Every structure is written in structure tokens, then in C-alpha cells.
């Protein structure tokens, strides 16, 4: 295993600056000015008219199944009734007065851009039909890279670590502005991006390439750039996961991680990106379900910690925007207290929005009860509601929450956005090793290519599998490429099949995904190397795989397996583009985990 402490203490090198991309004209959406005193007065009057049930509802951001607000598929109706007690999104808003709705591909909310826009309009019509019309704030997780809820034909862009490898703040802004413009056109005014975590632990199972890198100052610069991009396009950005999820080896979806940083380490490693986000005027910050004993020895996760959310975030960083929880359905926040207490404790800690509780009826009733009996002082709840409503005002929802098919057609997945996405990706692929000049491959020497290896499950609609994408792109670039997927754990029969197939080809390109010392992927690569034919290795997730593969003479990192990142890697392999990415994290030696094999800033070119 790589050494966490070695990564913590490594000297961070500045990533090379890349040519700045230009923001397409269609990528800019209108941005409302900060609310005036008159707007604040209007929102206060609206809050004063709310019942306890309506006030509680406005604090929740909830999932709902279906492609339509009123007429989802029968299976989605059944899922809604089972999990939420309603049939559709319109009933969800009417019954619980929820202040926001979050879209997921697995909830069948994101079939295509026109459907998404109509779903958004239907949700807004439901909001307008309430006794007190309040527009819902519609959100999603469109980080790009390995976390993307909306796929093609919307534009898919390089993920955070890929942009970190590119090192260009202008590119980070461009990517966020394009993404924000397309989300805005589909009626989505809140995106849970960018990730502000500093990934200092190579074994991190939940962040990894979702982070811009391991250098806190570099991450801070990229976070600032993306905040400006998203919010410049009219969409609320959200920095996550406060106070910093970058140094954990436990996934908070299934357990409760502990961050062992001292206060001094936190100030040096974790604080800078969040402080930068606050300085940039970030609309929303998301809490993490992590324990940080240096600031709260109680064992409570940060989501439920007053010392962390109020003491650190509100008081130390001076943040007065909206605070939202990470999903309340994650195990990390459910371990210590029951689902009935968690939302109340989160609000008491300093949270404003409660994201996706597992049982909305239980959570909503608990908040109403705590509001009525005074455990949650009404003045405190009103202050939270004011933040939320002013965010909606700032993002233009009270003026005009609707979108149209024409707006979707004008903005989403247009050619200039797709071309810009490819140009951004061309500045991210990192060449880590090229002993003997194996790369670029030559159509004269290595015309017939076998593309094999791990095929990660791409986010819905984002393309893939990587071997297929690589083979298609390389074929389009003049090679005769054949794809042979082995999965993550090829058995001996599969490895033998790949080796036999290589006999009919001139060279192999093998995709790897988080190689470990005893993994079958390592055995596959070693078997291919033993043939003596050229082998090119491409890490399609974390860039650390090369440390496990001593015999590889040519190794690259794409930092993701979505089409835009993989196509860019293919162009580098074929010599159509020079590799320009630089490592935003160090790769440590396997035999000496405190020593760097490749430092931050490493990257070859040709």
C-alpha cells in the first residue's frame, strides 16, 4: 500500500500551465445580482406566512423516481410509493413542500436533455401550485469524469483530476461554464460540484480522481476557477466535502471515516480550497460524514458537529451561504443516531439543506416536531430559510424558473461545446513512462492493435466501455484495432485468450483500473509483456497503477474512463497529440512507500 504520510509531506510541484480554452458564447447564462434589501424583505414576509410543515419541507432536497413530474412509468410510481409515500414529483411537493429535488440517473430522471427540461418544468409547475408558491431548487451531481448523472448528448467534460493534470485555471473555468450553461438550459440551477477535497491519501476509496490533486494551493486555484465558471453560468456551485474528505481509507457510503489530521495539518492541507471557495462567493458548501477529532472529540460526524459546521465553517471561515448535508442515506451519518434524530441534529449543527433522507416521512415529522416544541428555535429555522430563498432569488428562480426545448437545442451538446471538451481533454493526458520511445505508436510498425483490459462501468450515458472507445478511436486514426474486454478480474483462461489474440497483432494497449500487488490485472499485464511485443498501459482511473507494473515501458494516465478522456488518450497513443498533462498527485514507490516514483508535476512529452 502507498504511504499516506509520504504523500502528506511530499513537496508539491507547480503543474505546467496549459493553453487557455475560450468560453463559447452560448455558454453564458444570465446571473441574478445579489439580492437587494427589498428582496430580503419579500423573502422574510414569505417565511412569516409559512406553516411549520411548510418551513420544514423547504429545508429538504429529495430524490424522486421518474422521467415525468406527473406521469412516471409504473415501476417508478411503485418505487415512489414504497420509499416516499407518493406517486410522483408533483405529489412529493404537494405533500411535503420540499424546497429542492435532486436528479439521479438511477432514479430515471435523466433520459435525455429534452425530457430533463420537461421534468424540470413539471416540478416548477408543482411548486407554483402550492398554497405559497415557492420554486423548487433542482440539483444534481454533475462533477464530470467518473461522477456524471447526465450523459450524451449533453457535453461530457474531463473530470477534476484530469483538469488538475492540465493545470489551467482557464480550462477549469471553461469546463464549469459549459457544464453550468447546459444544466441551466435543462432547468437545473444547483450543481454539487466542484470537489474541494485535497486527495493526499492514494488509498482513498471515495475521492481519488474526483479531487483536483494533492497540492492544497493548486486545488484551491482550480476550485476558485470552477466556482466562477458554474456561477457565471447562473448555476449555484457547491464545494464539497467540508471539512475535507481527501485523507481517508473508508468510504462514507458504507462506514464512518475518521480524519486524523491535527489542527495544524487541517489548516495546511484541507482548509485552503474551502477558504478559497468562500472568498470566491460560493453559493453552497456540502458537509462530510467524517469524524475529525482535532475539532470535535465527541465522535459525531462533521454533518452533525456544531464545532465544525458553526465553529470552523461559519465563524473561522466567515461563511454565510447555504450549507447542505451529503446524502443522509449514507451509512456514515446513520451509524451513531437514528434516522429520526439525524436531520434535527444536522440543523442544530449549522446545516440549512437536508439532502435525500432515507425516509422523508420520518425526517420531515421529526423536524416539524422539533420546531413546534422549541428544540429548533423558530428564529434559527427562519434564518436558514432566508439563506435558501435568497439563493433561489439569486439564481433567478423567483423571476423565471422555466426552460424550453428551444433553449435546450441552443445550448446542450452543441458542436462548439463538444469541440471544446475534446480540446480540454487533449491538455490532460499524462505520459508517465516511455522507455525506449515506445510511444507514439506507428501505423507502419504497429498497424494491428489489440486493445484489452479493464472495462469500468461508465456513468449512465457517458459512453464506454473504455476498450471499445479506445479501439474505435485508434481505428479512426488509421490503425486496425480490436477490442477485447477482460473485466476487472480476468481469470487464467481469459489471460491466456488475450495472450493468444496478441499473436495476431503487432502491439497491445491495455487499460488498467486500480491495480494492486496481487491483482489479476497485474498478471494480465505481465503476461502481455512476456510476449515481447510492445505494450502500452493506460490507467483509466487513479494514476498510481504504474507503480505496480515495473516491466511496462510505456504508461499513461487519463484520470477517467469516460469517452472524452479515453479518446484524448488514444490521440496521444497514436501521436496525433503530444501528451501535455502533469501529475497533480505523486506516485509513490511500492518497495519504498515513503519515496516518490514520480513527483507532482511529472509528465513526459514528444
Active site members: 253, 326
* Sign of the dihedral defined by the CA atoms of residues 48, 49, 50, 52, in that order: positive
Beta strands in 123-170 (DSSP E): 137-140, 142-144, 147-148
Q: How many helices (H) and strands (E) does the chain have?
A: 22, 18
CA distance 47 to 86: 25
DSSP 438: -
Helix (H) / strand (E) element for 504: namely none
- Using alpha carbons, select from 482, 484, 460 the residue that is nearest to residue 471: 482
- Using alpha carbons, select from 241, 237, 145 the residue that is nearest to residue 540: 145
What are the distances in angstroms from CA 127 to CA 49, 57, 60, 119, 446? 16, 12, 14, 12, 60
Looking up cell 472529540, which residue turns up? Answer: 297
Beta strands in 199-254 (DSSP E): 238-242
DSSP 236: B
- Using alpha carbons, select from 263, 305, 273 the residue that is nearest to residue 287: 305
What 35-44 contacts at long range (C-beta under 8 Å, 24+ apart), as own/partner pairs, is: 35/390, 35/393, 35/394, 39/390, 39/393, 40/386, 40/390, 43/385, 43/386, 43/389, 43/390, 43/393, 44/382, 44/386
- Using alpha carbons, select from 552, 532, 550 the residue that is nearest to residue 453: 552
Q: Where are the alpha helices (DSSP H) in 335-404?
A: 342-349, 360-372, 378-394
At residue 208, the 3 state secondary structure works out as helix
Q: Exposed, middle or buried, 371 (CB in 10 Å: 0-12/13-18/19+)?
A: buried
8 Å CB contact between 498 and 490: yes
Beta strands in 69-205 (DSSP E): 100-103, 137-140, 142-144, 147-148, 190-191
8 Å CB contact between 239 and 321: no
CA distance 581 to 602: 9
DSSP 548: G
Q: Chain-centre distance of CA 415, in angstroms?
A: 24
Angle at 63 between CA 58 and CA 65, to 5 degrees: 135
DSSP 328: T
Beta strands in 318-372 (DSSP E): 322-324, 354-355
CA distance 313 to 311: 6
Q: How many residues are present in the chain? A: 606
CA distance 452 to 540: 12
Helix, strand, coil distribution of the chain in percent, nearest 5:
40, 10, 45
* 358 bridge partner residues: none
Amino acid at each position: 500500500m502507498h504511504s499516506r504520510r509520504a504523500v502528506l509531506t511530499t513537496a508539491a510541484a507547480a503543474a505546467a500551465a496549459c493553453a487557455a480554452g475560450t468560453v463559447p458564447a452560448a455558454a453564458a447564462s444570465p446571473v441574478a445580482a445579489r439580492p437587494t434589501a427589498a428582496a430580503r424583505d419579500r423573502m422574510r414576509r414569505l417565511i412569516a406566512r409559512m406553516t411549520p410543515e411548510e418551513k420544514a419541507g423547504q429545508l429538504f432536497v429529495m430524490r424522486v423516481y421518474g422521467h415525468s413530474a406527473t406521469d412516471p412509468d409504473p415501476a417508478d410510481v411503485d418505487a415512489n410509493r414504497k420509499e416516499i409515500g407518493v406517486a410522483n414529483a408533483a405529489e412529493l411537493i404537494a405533500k411535503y413542500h420540499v424546497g429542492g429535488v435532486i436528479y439521479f440517473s438511477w432514479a430515471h430522471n435523466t433520459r435525455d436533455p429534452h425530457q430533463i427540461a420537461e421534468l424540470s418544468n413539471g416540478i416548477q409547475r408543482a411548486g407554483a401550485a402550492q398554497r405559497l408558491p415557492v420554486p423548487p431548487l433542482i440539483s444534481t451531481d454533475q462533477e464530470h469524469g467518473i461522477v456524471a448523472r447526465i450523459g450524451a448528448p449533453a457535453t461530457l467534460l474531463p473530470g477534476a483530476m484530469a483538469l488538475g493534470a492540465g493545470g489551467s485555471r482557464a480550462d477549469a473555468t471553461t469546463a464549469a461554464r459549459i457544464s453550468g450553461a447546459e444544466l441551466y438550459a435543462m432547468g437545473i440551477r444547483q450543481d454539487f460540484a466542484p470537489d474541494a477535497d485535497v486527495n493526499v491519501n492514494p488509498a482513498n476509496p471515495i475521492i481519488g480522481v474526483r479531487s483536483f490533486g494533492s497540492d492544497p494551493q493548486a486545488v484551491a486555484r482550480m476550485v476558485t476557477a470552477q466556482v466562477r465558471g458554474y456561477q457565471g453560468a447562473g448555476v449555484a456551485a457547491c464545494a464539497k466535502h467540508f471539512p475535507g474528505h481527501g485523507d481517508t481509507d473508508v468510504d462514507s457510503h458504507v462506514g464512518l471515516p475518521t480524519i486524523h489530521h491535527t489542527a495544524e495539518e487541517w489548516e495546511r492541507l484541507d482548509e485552503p480550497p474551502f477558504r478559497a471557495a468562500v472568498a470566491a462567493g460560493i453559493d453552497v458548501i456540502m458537509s462530510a460524514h467524517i469524524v475529525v477529532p482535532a475539532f470535535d472529540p465527541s465522535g459525531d460526524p462533521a454533518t452533525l458537529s456544531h464545532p465544525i459546521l458553526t465553529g470552523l465553517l461559519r465563524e473561522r471561515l466567515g461563511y454565510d451561504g447555504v450549507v447542505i448535508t451529503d446524502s443522509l442515506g449514507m451509512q456514515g451519518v446513520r451509524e451513531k443516531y437514528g434516522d429520526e434524530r439525524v436531520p434535527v441534529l444536522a440543523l442544530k449543527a449549522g446545516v440549512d439543506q437536508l439532502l435525500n433522507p432515507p425516509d422523508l416521512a420520518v425526517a420531515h415529522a421529526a423536524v416539524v416536531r422539533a420546531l413546534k416544541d422549541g428544540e429548533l428555535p423558530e428564529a434559527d429555522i427562519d434564518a436558514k430559510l432566508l439563506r435558501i430563498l435568497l439563493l433561489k432569488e439569486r439564481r433567478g428562480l423567483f423571476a423565471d424558473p422555466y426552460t424550453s426545448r428551444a433553449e435546450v437545442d441552443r445550448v446542450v451538446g452543441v458542436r462548439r461545446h463538444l469541440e471544446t471538451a475534446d480540446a480540454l481533454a487533449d491538455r490532460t493526458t499524462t505520459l508517465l513512462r516511455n522507455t525506449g520511445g515506445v510511444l507514439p505508436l506507428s501505423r507502419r510498425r504497429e498497424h494491428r492493435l489489440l486493445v484489452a483490459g479493464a472495462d469500468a462501468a461508465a456513468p449512465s450515458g457517458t459512453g464506454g466501455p473504455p476498450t471499445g472507445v479506445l479501439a474505435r478511436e485508434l481505428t479512426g486514426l488509421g490503425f486496425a484495432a480490436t477490442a477485447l474486454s477482460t473485466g476487472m478480474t480476468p481469470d487464467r483462461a481469459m489471460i491466456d485468450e488475450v495472450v493468444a489474440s496478441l499473436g495476431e497483432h503487432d502491439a497491445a494497449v491495455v487499460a488498467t483500473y486500480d491495480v494492486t500487488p496481487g491483482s489479476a490485472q497485474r498478471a494480465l499485464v505481465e503476461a502481455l509483456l512476456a510476449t515481447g511485443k510492445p505494450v502500452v498501459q493506460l490507467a483509466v482511473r487513479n494514476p498510481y497503477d504504474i507503480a505496480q507494473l515495473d516491466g511496462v515501458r510505456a504508461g499513461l494516465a487519463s484520470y477517467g474512463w469516460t469517452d472524452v478522456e479515453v479518446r484524448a488518450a488514444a490521440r496521444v497513443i497514436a501521436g496525433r497529440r503530444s501528451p501535455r498533462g502533469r501529475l497533480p498527485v505523486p506516485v509513490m514507490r511500492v518497495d519504498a512507500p515513503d519515496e516518490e516514483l514520480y513527483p507532482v508535476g511529472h509528465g513526459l512529452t514528444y
